[in-house]
Amino acid sequence: MPTIAVSDENFESEVLNANGPVLVDFWAEWCGPCKQIGPALEELSGEMAGKVTIAKVNIDENPGIPSKYGVRGVPTLMLFSGGQVSATKVGAMPKSKIADWLNSAVSAA
């Protein structure tokens, strides 16, 4: 299952009203670390299908949502559960660290 692109317009329906946890990757085209973790997030999206949905928000094209949630740097990963932020990580990390963090955050939610 590929990651889904989310915009200011569909954020509520795709993330806040989702039937399960959603990891939102706030990223930008010009961000090197964002490009580094992109392939890992695509892989995790397939590996964790059914457990968590992975969505991506381009902060340059959709400035409303990042500003609402106080995103100050990219990449910022926010895990939403039941319409609320349940966990946040800022900065790039290896796929294994993202997976470990996601697994523990999802099981705690």
For residue 32 the two structure tokens come to 């090197």
Integer Rg of the chain from CA: 12
Task: List, in sequence order, every residue forming a beta bridge with 25; answer none if it has no partner.
Answer: 56, 77
Q: Which position among 31, 55, 93, 106 bears the catalytic label?
A: 31
Q: 31 catalytic, yes or no?
A: yes
Residue 90 to residue 18: CA distance in whole angstroms = 23
Q: 34 catalytic, yes or no?
A: yes
Only one residue has tokens 């949502």, namely: 65
Q: Which position among 34, 57, 78, 87 bears the catalytic label?
A: 34
Residues recognised as catalytic: 31, 34
